[in-house]
Structure 1
Amino acid sequence: MSSIMIAQAVGLLSVALSLLCFFQKDDLRLKSVMLIFNINHALHFFLLGASTSAFCCLFSACRTATSIKVKSRLVACGFILVTISVGAFIAQQWTDMIAIVGACCGTYALFCLDGIKMRLCLFAGSCFWLTNNIIVGSIGGMILESAVIVMNLTTMYRLYRDCGSLKLALA
């Protein structure tokens, strides 16, 4: 089996992990599955030779693990600054910045938001990651982010429906 096929197979495993992740209504479960997904997806990007994307996923794993125990705007700012600084240093072309923006959206969401607000910010990050995956040729990543967008929207609707009003859902 060629290395590109192995990379794409690892990416397809990321699809399953991400679906499991964004189907979670419980924020802690979402973050726990997201941690495993980030590590797997970093391997996928490493095998594709997309080093900036791989870095963003590894760093996202660290930030996700931290966000399970810590909820702090200051810590979020630290992770965002490191992501931007290191990402800009290793970026090989301007399009590599798209993954960095996606990672920053996820960082802000996990440390500073919860419920529907967190998922809205993760939705924005997914849009950036979808664009990145199209650029780097990640088949699993394209399927993954498309599915994540749909699952995230579905879960936001389920949370909204459980609250009974948009004002309560966004509170």
Structure 2
Amino acid sequence: MTYYWFAQSVGVLAFMVGITMFFNRSDRRFKQQLSAYSAIIGVHFLMMGAAPAGMSALLNSLRTLISLRTRNHWIMVIFIVLTLVLGLSRAHHWVELLPVGATVVSTWALFRTSGLTTRCIMWCSTCCWVFHNIWLGSIGGSLIEGSFLIMNGFNIIRFRRLQLRGIDPFEVEKKIVKKMEENQAAE
């Protein structure tokens, strides 16, 4: 197997890990699975020679895990600055700016939003990744981000319909976030 096809197989592995992520109502499980997917796809992008996307995805993985523990404003700012510095310094084509911008926006969303708002922002971020992955020729990356776009879109509609019927699909997570914020305020 050539290096190129090995790199593509890592992308397909990422596809398999990430395919069910958006079905989670639990923000915690959603973020854990997003972190695992981001780490694998980051390795794939680095293997494909897409350093800005690879670094953005690896930072996504770490950032997502940390966002499970804290919603601290300064931690968010650190990740945004790291993403901009590492991503912009290695970009050679304007399309390589898309994953960097997507990572900045999704970082803000993971630290400052929850529930349906997070998923809507992640959907917009995914649009940037889809375009980048098609441009790069990443088979697994294009498949997974395209799937994310469709699945998250359907789940946004499904969750919104539940909300319109008076059912909050994110009720449990709101309590967890509130408790987390109270604990941080006490520190």
What TM-score do the two structures reach when normalised by structure 2? 0.84
Which one-letter code corresponds to 1:60 in the other structure? N
Instruction: Show the 5 A alignment for 1:1-171.
Output: 1-164=1-164
Structure 1 portions without partners, runs of 5+: none
Cα RMSD (Å) of the superposition?
Answer: 2.0
Q: Which has the larger radius of gyration?
A: 2
Residue 2 of structure 1 and its aligned partner are, at CA, apart by: 1.0
Per-residue Cα deviation, 1:130-150 (whole angstroms, up to 9, x for no partner): 111011111111111110011
Partner Cα separation in structure 2 for residue 128 and residue 135 of structure 1: 11
Compared with structure 1, are the counterparts of its residues 104 and 165 closer, same or farther at alpha carbon in structure 2 (3 Å cutoff)? farther
Residue 105 of structure 1 and its aligned partner are, at CA, apart by: 1.9
Question: Which contiguous aligned blocks of 4+ residues in structure 1 show a shift greater than 4 angstroms?
Answer: 168-171
Length, aligned pairs only: 170
Partner Cα separation in structure 2 for residue 7 and residue 22 of structure 1: 25
Contact 1:35-1:61 at 8 Å conserved across structures: yes
Q: Percent identity?
A: 26
Structure 2 portions without partners, runs of 5+: 175-187
What TM-score do the two structures reach when normalised by structure 1? 0.91
What SS does the corresponding residue of 1:25 show, helix, strand or coil?
Answer: coil
Partner Cα separation in structure 1 for residue 73 and residue 148 of structure 2: 25
Partner Cα separation in structure 2 for residue 126 and residue 72 of structure 1: 24
